[in-house]
A = this chain, B = another copy of it.
Amino acid sequence: MNTAVPRPRTVAAKSSAAPRTQLSPEAWIDAATAVLVDRGIDHVRVDVLAGGLGVTRGSFYWHFRDREDLLRRVLAAWRERATEQLTARLAQAHDDPREQLADASTLPFRGRAATRAARIELAIRAWARRDAMAREAVDAADAARIGYHERLFAALGFAAGEAHARAFALYGYEVAESLLHRQGSAEQRAARRRFVLALLQQPLARC
């Protein structure tokens, strides 16, 4: 497996080169993410990935300085897909903050995409318990998502402190729903989503 030989740092190899060595960085990042989810971070190793992808270890170093570099880009890709693109899409779909909140509350229910996202997220959270780089990425993602919800509640007229508490509660509900999706019937899940969404938009009674 340790047959890394110096090769030109190019992806667009000539037709004489074996096509399987022309993997994009994204292919390595996707493979690393899949191994992370299925087997945990300790199994995300260059030799394991190269074996799974059917390429030499050497071709890894065309795109990445080392394993650490790959892991950093796994986290960056997750952040991009699961936070930045996601909140941008929610924000563009509706002008009305209430509609955006309703949309956000349905995220845990979006079938296989939601299940896959939840599996990735749980694997990254487990990794983050033991690794400072992963922990920073998770903290930044959570902060960005809570911030997005917070701006929506602020747009509805809630004061800063309350907007934060409401945002945390709704985002926390989404996290919990994606973690606890096997609890209750489909009907109960739909009902509790509507309930949480409605309750979190009503004023707090002062009594």
Binding site for B on A (CB under 8 A): 37-43, 119, 122-123, 125-126, 129-130, 139, 142-143, 146, 161-162, 164-166, 168-169, 171-173, 175-177, 179-180, 182-184, 188, 191-192, 195-196, 198-200, 202, 204-205, 207
Q: Name which residue of chain B comes closest to A183, CB basis.
A: B142
Task: Report the copy number of this chain in the oligomer.
Answer: 2
In the assembled complex, 8 residue pairs joining A and B whose CB atoms fall closer than 8 Å, in A order, are A123-B129, A125-B179, A164-B188, A165-B195, A165-B196, A168-B184, A175-B176, A198-B204
Please classify the interface of chain A as helix (H, G, I), strand (E, B), loop, or mixed, using the class held by over half of its residues.
helix
- Tell me the minimal C-beta distance from A166 to chain B in angstroms: 8
Evaluate contact between A169 and B195: CB separation under 8 angstroms.
yes
Alpha-carbon gap, A142 to B162, bound state (A): 28
* CB-CB under 8 A for A146 and B183, given A38-B130, A42-B40: yes
Q: Please give, as numbers and ranges, the residues of chain B lying within 8 Å of A123 by CB-CB distance.
A: 126, 129
Residues of B within 8 A of A38 (CB): 130
When C-beta atoms are compared, the residue in chain B nearest to A123 turns out to be B126
Q: How far is the CA of A27 from the CA of B196 in the complex (A)?
A: 43
Question: B119 touching A129 by the CB < 8 A rule?
Answer: yes
CB distance from A154 to the nearest CB of B (A): 15
Chain B's closest residue to A161 (CB) is B191
What separation, in Å, do the CA atoms of A192 and B161 have in the docked complex? 8
Contacts of A39 in B (CB 8 A): 42
Which residues on B sit within 8 Å (CB–CB) of A195? 162, 165-166, 169, 204
Chain B residue contacts of A37, Cβ below 8 A: 129
- Please name all residues of chain B whose beta carbon is closer than 8 Å to the beta carbon of A119 when the two chains form the complex: 129
